Amino acid sequence: MTWPVDFILMVALILAAFAALHMRNLVNSVMIVVAYSVLTALLFAGLGAVDVAFVEFVLGAGITGILFFALLFHAGARERPPRRRDHRWLALPLIGLFLALMLYASTGIPDRGDPESPANTYVSPDYIERSLEDTNTPNVVTAVLADYRSLDTLGEVVVIVTAGLACMLILRRREEDS
């Protein structure tokens, strides 16, 4: 019953991607990218993944937009025209080949919500059934992220902090250099 909504959202997603690429003014481009994130978050919410949708709203439609705008203030909001155009005939066949490969691969993944798929039969039923008595936490997603799979969460936090530190080291001006 929800597939028409998903279909409309995906069509809107593709249109937003095209629009974001063709905008001359980069401020408009950033706003359309933020709209793209909102549409993606709605798709996630339609799948029932509310935590992921929340993260996508806050990170994709929130902080990414802010950081892009902060960057646009010194990069300038006008996109310079591209200098050469003759790589298009090399890129399009490769993109078409990649698209065909992805479409062929998508026929092999299990149906959406299939209870017999490998993702739903290995440890997921265990986690869902035992998380409340093991951890007193009604939210299964938090229990899996912070207890059963907390090593992955540690890796994620380390990656985020490392990326921030790398940006700081690259972008921060030193007083003696400039």
Binding of other proteins by 145 (CB under 8 A): yes
Closest distance of CB 7 from other proteins, Å: 25
Q: Of the candidates 52, 56, 51, 44, which has an alpha carbon nearest to the alpha carbon of residue 138? A: 51
Q: State the Cα–Cα distance between residues 34 and 16, nearest whole angstrom.
A: 10
Q: Which of 10, 27, 50, 100 binds other proteins (CB under 8 A)?
A: 50
Question: Mask of contacts with other proteins, 55-84, x by CB under 8 A?
Answer: x--xx--xx--xx--xx-xx----------
Give 109 or 132: the residue with its C-beta nearer to other proteins. Answer: 132
Closest distance of CB 111 from other proteins, Å: 25
Binding of other proteins by 178 (CB under 8 A): no
Give 103 or 151: the residue with its C-beta nearer to other proteins. Answer: 151
Binding of other proteins by 28 (CB under 8 A): no
- List of residues contacting other proteins (CB under 8 A): 50-51, 53-55, 58-59, 62-63, 66-67, 70-71, 73-74, 133-139, 141-143, 145-147, 150-151, 153-154, 156-158, 160-161, 163-165, 167-168, 171-173
